[in-house]
Amino acid sequence: MAVTGFFHHIGTFFLLAATVLLLITTISAPVVNDIALLKVTLGNATSSHNSEVSFGTFGYCVLNTAYVNGGDSCTHSHLGYNPADVMANIEGTSFGDGTTDSLKILTRTMVLHPISTGIAFIAFLLALGAGFIGSFLAAIVAVLAFLTTIVAMIIDFVMFGVLKSHINDSSDDSSGSHAKYSVAIWTILAAAICLLIGSVIVFFTCCSARLHKKRARNSATVKNDYGTATTTRRRRWF
């Protein structure tokens, strides 16, 4: 039982780690300017000036721009924006209408980031509670968090993969910009891994603890029935 409890704590820790990692993805630009899912180093980069576009969950930021006091220009936090139009306005990068519309639609699905964060946190709270029911519910909620995180992660990689490939490989783009995946997309990947490990461990320890208790009850019953001999004192009649 002590070993089972130890592994349960490890599973709970993985759920907490997943929550923190998903929170980092959620608070990417423009909430925290420099945390991004995709970061584009613009072609005007020099040794003294290195402008970047930081694409996040609820908007984007243009970092180190010379036109704004403080260096960064960010949108207000809102659901859904158009990364293709952003690059077209900044550098004149051309995107097809289909690509532009698709990327705009896909940014709305990033609402899954805070949803996954909330579900993972609920799973963590349930895992803290003792007992079979709490652990079982924690495992179910953790699996739900894992599934929503996987969907969000796939969409992120598809959406920003298209944008990244277009910026880096477009033959008519002579701006010299370079796009790369950034911190927030790797944190959602790490969160998915943590959720998978955490849900498996919590479910395993839940079932294992249940099995140990059942065996302990059966052992106690057998001991009472067969292990303890009951003797009746025989009276002597003289």
User: DSSP letter at 227?
Assistant: I
Phi, psi (5° rounding) for residue 14?
-65, -35
pLDDT digits (tens, 9 = 90+) for 211-226: 545 554 555 454 555 5
pLDDT digits (tens, 9 = 90+) for 5-51: 788 899 999 999 999 999 999 999 999 999 999 999 987 655 556 78
Exposure string for 90-128, b = 16+ CB within 10 A, e = fewer = bbebebeeeebebbbebbebbebbbbbbbbbbbbbbbbe
- List the one residue out of 63, 34, 60, 31 whose CA is nearest residue 50: 63
| Global confidence as pTM | 0.84
- Indicate whether 193 pLDDT > 60: yes
On average, the pLDDT of the chain sits at: 84
Phi, psi (5° rounding) for residue 20?
-65, -45
User: DSSP letter at 71?
Assistant: S
pLDDT digits (tens, 9 = 90+) for 55-79: 999 999 999 876 655 578 999 999 9
Distance CA 92, CA 44 (A): 13
* Domains along the chain with CATH numbers: 2-213 (1.20.140.150)
Distance CA 211, CA 135 (A): 14
